[in-house]
Structure 1
Amino acid sequence: MATGAKITGLVTRWWWVRHAPVPNPEARCYGQTDKDCDVSNHDLFVHQAKLLPKGAVWYASNLLRARKTAETLASHGADMGELLIDPNLAEQHFGDWQGLTYVEIAEKHANNHLFWLGPPEYRPPGGESFVDLRDRAVRSIDRLTEEHRGRDIVATAHGGTIRAALAHAFDLHPEAAVRFEIDNVSVTLIEHFAQADPAHAWRVAFVNYMPRALVVAKAAALA
């Protein structure tokens, strides 16, 4: 921070957690398909639960994997009261691509992309684009930031949603936003300063915090 700079006013902190891994041996696009998730990595959940603040407001998307991740964090020590549900925090809806393998999507559609299933502006048939996801997620982020000003908000959501939150905070072009890596059960902390100039009211404290040794140890145990 520059010398002499001051931060004043209430700070609202968003603690974003991506849902636990979804078993997907056939590597199929699931998007908003309501898949279950694997919450068996006890040590990882204990570790991540300790990072999360006490007394926070908790939100999850309407999808099972987000709700289950929040409930598992709570059962492993996180201080969660009521879990509130916001469908605007759900993953991108990939329309007709949902259920196809990623290989099929790449072979049948010219819109494959190195870091996302298609260019962020592209809307798959019957679905929505990443830009659509960003716009609906940002509506809820701004509304909830105002409603819970000065509070901690824990949100269990999805890789696309968390990238949308980062795009909002950094004022990023969608093409840049989809390049972030967001691992399962990782924590991303984004802060909003109420009395700052709206053009630079957001600060990203850290992104994609994940104790990889615990993930590697779990994978080795399952091998």
Structure 2
Amino acid sequence: MGGRRFIVEADGGSRGNPGPAGYGAVVRDGDTGQIVAEAAEFIGHATNNVAEYKGLIAGLKAARELDPAAAVDVRMDSKLVVEQMSGRWKIKHPDMQPLAAEARTVLPRAQVSYTWIPRERNKDADRLANEAMDAGKAGKQWEPKAPRPAAPVDEPLPAPAAPKAGWAAPADLGTPTTFVLLRHGETPLTPEKRFSGSGGSDPELSEKGRWQAARAAEAFAARGSIQAVVSSPMRRTRQTAEAVAQRLGLDVRTEEGLRELDFGDWEGLTFAEVQDRHPEDLAAWLSSAKAKPTGSTESFTTLTHRVGVARDKLLARYSGKTVLVVSHVSPIKTLVRLALGAPPDSLYRMELSAASICAVQYYADGNASLRLMNDTSHLR
């Protein structure tokens, strides 16, 4: 696509529904999470839904002004707007139809995705909507205030109190959603450290990989905390997930966003072979999250967007539960990085062994906590 990546958070409200209404929207840089644009307006007498749609339109227009080629991930706490704009729900109300049609004309459909988020994670847009309604009550229109620093979009700053040890949450933060992140077991390519992404041969687990999956299954059965199993659609992850799920008496649900990065022409090659055949592309890839492997359609930046969307879908679906997420090196490292608010180049400073376990907890206030990293004790 070639453009930047933005996250648009939008909201609208009506005091009376219908009643005095306003909207708010923020545009965040998709890599840093910093707010790069804000929009809000008092729109007079309207319903909540009308205000929400107008907030969406304003957010999309603000993103377009910054970069008309940008990939935009819209995040709203309005299930109605997200489902209608995603095409899963019909738009029957006559007031909504022209607003949805206008929203679709702002940017090409291929550039925009929609994700539902809890209201607690849409605080900035909600704040702006209320500021706009307050201004309208005073007979004025909203005016932007002095800019202030914003927390990273994927996970705000850590909670002041450190969570207790283990996978249980402090009571005052409520029950978290826990992702137990399991890397798949070994394949024939793993010991040779060959690039094995989503565009390669899709190898099966080796004999050792199947043993590792069985040991992981035993460990999770002993802990007894897993409530759902989700896997990348690739063969090695599904085989690992199925070994655990069968032991736990659970089904496996696949999530496309959890697949490994597409390594293009590097698939099946060792690092040394890539260095020999594609030295310039490799150097660029190691120095920039926006660079792509030779012949690939994906960079770490686009992977981050894909994994972030998958993460938010799972958080909405499994709120308050402990979920085993079986995936690959790059997606798991990305989830860890986002939880920590670490920069993209931190991906090169993490080690993830085959069949290793990480754990991240997500709280209702938007905070995240890394609880475990590269644990292989179940394999010893």
- Tell me the TM-score range normalised by the shorter chain: 0.7 to 0.9
How far apart, CA to CA, are the structure 2 residues paired with 1:102 and 1:133? 20
The CA deviation at 1:42 is 7.3
- Output one character per residue of 1:136-185: Cα deviation in whole Å (capped at 9) or x when no partner: 01111012102211011111100111101011101111101331111111
Kindly tell me: are residues 42 and 111 of structure 1, through their superposed partners in 2, closer, same or farther at Cα, counting changes over 3 Å?
A: closer
- Output one character per residue of 1:87-125: Cα deviation in whole Å (capped at 9) or x when no partner: 110111111211333222011223446xxx734332123
Q: Secondary structure at the match of 1:48?
A: helix
Q: Secondary structure at the match of 2:230?
A: strand
Correspondent of 2:315 among 120, 134, 145: 145
Kindly tell me: are residues 205 and 185 of structure 1, through their superposed partners in 2, closer, same or farther at Cα, counting changes over 3 Å?
A: same
Q: Secondary structure at the match of 1:29?
A: coil
Q: Secondary structure at the match of 2:195?
A: coil
Percent identity of paired positions between Structure 1 and Structure 2: 22
How far apart, CA to CA, are the structure 2 residues paired with 1:213 and 1:67? 19
1:16 aligned partner: 181
1:100 aligned partner: 269
1:81 aligned partner: 250
Letter in 1 for 2:186: P
Kindly tell me: are residues 21 and 151 of structure 1, through their superposed partners in 2, closer, same or farther at Cα, counting changes over 3 Å?
A: same
Task: Calculate the TM-score normalised by the size of structure 2.
Answer: 0.49
Q: Are the counterparts in 2 of residues 49 and 73 from structure 1 also a CA contact under 8 Å? A: yes
Kindly tell me: are residues 14 and 80 of structure 1, through their superposed partners in 2, closer, same or farther at Cα, counting changes over 3 Å?
A: farther
The CA deviation at 1:213 is 6.5
How far apart, CA to CA, are the structure 1 residues paired with 2:211 and 2:322? 27
Q: How does 1:45-64 map onto structure 2 within 5 Å?
A: 45-50=216-221, 53-54=224-225, 56-64=227-235
How far apart, CA to CA, are the structure 2 residues paired with 1:42 and 1:83? 14
Letter in 2 for 1:169: A
- Output one character per residue of 1:35-86: Cα deviation in whole Å (capped at 9) or x when no partner: 11121347733553346544512100010000000112234x3x24121011
How far apart, CA to CA, are the structure 2 residues paired with 1:158 and 1:80? 23
RMSD after superposition: 2.6
How far apart, CA to CA, are the structure 2 residues paired with 1:125 and 1:9? 46
How far apart, CA to CA, are the structure 1 residues paired with 2:244 and 2:316? 25
Q: How does 1:28-177 map onto structure 2 within 5 Å?
A: 28-32=194-198, 33=200, 34-38=202-206, 39-41=210-212, 44-50=215-221, 53-54=224-225, 56-75=227-246, 77=247, 79-108=248-277, 109-112=279-282, 118-119=286-287, 120-127=289-296, 128-177=298-347
2:375 aligned partner: 209
Q: Are the counterparts in 2 of residues 55 and 80 from structure 1 also a CA contact under 8 Å? A: no
How far apart, CA to CA, are the structure 2 residues paired with 1:17 and 1:42? 10
Task: For structure 1, list consecutive stretches of 5 or more residues without a partner in the other structure.
Answer: 215-223
Q: Are the counterparts in 2 of residues 48 and 187 from structure 1 also a CA contact under 8 Å? A: no
Q: Secondary structure at the match of 2:260?
A: coil
How far apart, CA to CA, are the structure 1 residues paired with 2:203 and 2:215? 21
Q: Are the counterparts in 1 of residues 219 and 378 from structure 2 also a CA contact under 8 Å? A: no
Task: For structure 2, list consecutive stretches of 5 or more residues without a partner in the other structure.
Answer: 1-158, 164-169
Q: Secondary structure at the match of 1:10?
A: coil
How far apart, CA to CA, are the structure 2 residues paired with 1:126 and 1:155? 29
How many pairs are equivalent? 205
The CA deviation at 1:27 is 4.7
The CA deviation at 1:30 is 1.9
Q: Secondary structure at the match of 1:203?
A: strand
How far apart, CA to CA, are the structure 2 residues paired with 1:141 and 1:22? 26
Letter in 1 for 2:309: R
Q: Secondary structure at the match of 2:280?
A: coil
Higher RCO structure (Cα 8 Å, ≥6 apart): 1
Q: Secondary structure at the match of 1:185?
A: coil
Q: Secondary structure at the match of 1:21?
A: coil
